[in-house]
Amino acid sequence: MAAISSDTSRKPRISYHEFYTDGFTPREHYRPLWEHIQSVGQNAFEAKVHESQLALHAEGVTFTVYGDSDEGIERIWPFDLIPRIIPASEWNIIESGLKQRVRALNLFLKDIYHDQRILKDGVVPAELIYQGKDFRREIMGVDPPHDIYTHISGIDIIRDEDGKYLVLEDNLRTPSGVSYMIENRVIERRILPEFFAKYRVRRVEHYPALLLEALRAVSPRGTGQAEIVVLTPGIYNSAYFEHTFLAKEMGVELAEGRDLVAKDDVVYLKTTTGLQRVDVIYRRVDDDFLDPLVFRSDSTLGVAGIINAWRAGNIAIVNAPGNGIADDKAVYPYVPDIIRYYLAEAPILQNVPTYQMTDPEERAYVLDNLERMVVKAVSESGGYGMLMGPASTPALRKEFAAKVLENPRNYIAQPVVQLSRHICYMDGELEARHLDLRPFIIYGDDIDVVPGGLTRVALTKGSLVVNSSQGGGSKDTWVLAE
């Protein structure tokens, strides 16, 4: 938790520049790239940008923005050609920090849905868990295959003004973006192969193979009999492109809820030649919609009886139901304590200082300083339900203050961190934009962190909002081999 006295948010600080040490000198690891960009010339570079746009367009690399058009608003994935480069020494810290964090969060979930030692020991307040919208008492005592809950995590990382990597947010339910990470790499290599010749960039395209391996590893009938499906809400979901991408890359079926049926605690696919048993479901449908018999009864996206089949040990659900309580933003401030509690280790990656709105003193401080705060609804994602203080209006701040007072458990606040910046190619100019990083972590037989991740860019000058649903873009992300 943030100590109010050490708060430095009153002094505006300058964000860390990923590319330059000052306004002119590229950092050591960017120098070969910089020289190359200089030598290409603007016209040629412009042509490359155009080419990359055409490729994304033709391939239909899209995401869907929610709207009320019956044709759906599909947008082409926004992509900036200038890669972000992370040196091996920095990546080692990120990688070990993420492994540590995921291992601890997984133990936390197992504990929360079994003995709840951490609550009894008073490390995390019990009411915080019980009041969490995503705590699923229906699954208390269930043992998922191999005790894995967080098979796939996407953990958002930013760099503060000093260039220190901090965890901004844990995504342990259905994190998306991995297909864009791979598409970015594919396009970058096709359009600018000469960039790669200057570096030893670690590969990311084997992600679907790692995922398939992890999914096979949790099959209740053993890896020899692993019928796997990707469960999607359908073509109007914002990440539908990713669902088809993963199904296709892994060579497994992409199913909707209506393609599945549960009978006697076994789940089957409805095929043209009859029912076919399913062992592992990589679901991209939220808990709420997963099983109308257990959660929301009005859901048409899920499968009636799927939770009973899971309880009976006949299928693996990936990620496990109930994970939302571990990436609840109100639990986030406790993650460092959670790491210390289960692993007896010091956290390698720090959190962004966070104020708890349930604490009267911290709440009063935040409400007095709203224009310098980011306020987030604890169970929303994708940039929804959020107040960006510096960019807000007095009316909006008043509205948020009322919401916070009405339901303090539902909000947290953080001082505005000036996310680090990177050059982007914007209409013929190289301009600095803020960015973050979402690496992906797969927990199967072992924990793997894919070297790279999705770098999201705020395309609007000065903006700190990077979500694609809010108009953000992306960059290929290079992790260098040692």
Binding site for other proteins (CB under 8 A): 57-60, 71, 235, 240, 244, 247-248, 253-256, 258-259, 261, 263, 268-277
- Per DSSP, helices labelled H in 198-353 are 207-217, 240-250, 287-290, 306-311, 335-343
Q: Which is nearer to other proteins, 224 or 274 (CB)?
A: 274
What minimum distance in Å lies between the beta carbon of 48 and other proteins?
20
Min. distance of Cβ 253 from other proteins in angstroms? 6
Partnered with residue 430 across adjacent β-strands are 425
**DSSP strand pairing (80-86 vs 473-479):** parallel
Which CB atom, from 140 or from 235, has the smaller least distance to other proteins? 235
Residue whose CB is less far from other proteins, 253 or 431:
253
Among residues 156 and 279, whose Cβ is nearest to other proteins?
279
Q: Tell me, what amino acid is at 249?
A: E
- Nearer to other proteins by Cβ, of 23 and 274: the residue is 274
With respect to other proteins, which residue has the nearer C-beta, 225 or 271? Answer: 271
Q: CB 269 → other proteins: shortest distance, Å?
A: 6
CA torsion 46→50→52→55, rounded to 10°?
-160
Q: Between the CA atoms of 262, 263, 267 and 271, what dihedral angle is there, to the nearest 10 degrees? A: -90
- Exposed/middle/buried for residue 401 (C-beta within 10 Å: 0-12, 13-18, 19+): middle
CB of 57 to other proteins, least distance (A): 7
Which of these, 104, 130, 99, 147, lies nearest to 335 by C-alpha position?
104
* Closer of 188 and 256 to other proteins (Cβ): 256
Query: Minimum distance between the CB of residue 58 and other proteins, rounded to whole angstroms?
Result: 5
Q: How far is the CB of 176 from other proteins (least distance, A)?
A: 16
* Amino acid identity, position 168: L
Q: Which two tokens stand for residue 377?
A: 């609804």
Helices and strands of the chain, counted as H and E runs: 14, 23
List the Cα angle 138/144/146 in 5-degree steps: 160
Q: Mapping DSSP to helix (H, G, I), strand (E, B) and coil, where does residue 386 land?
A: strand
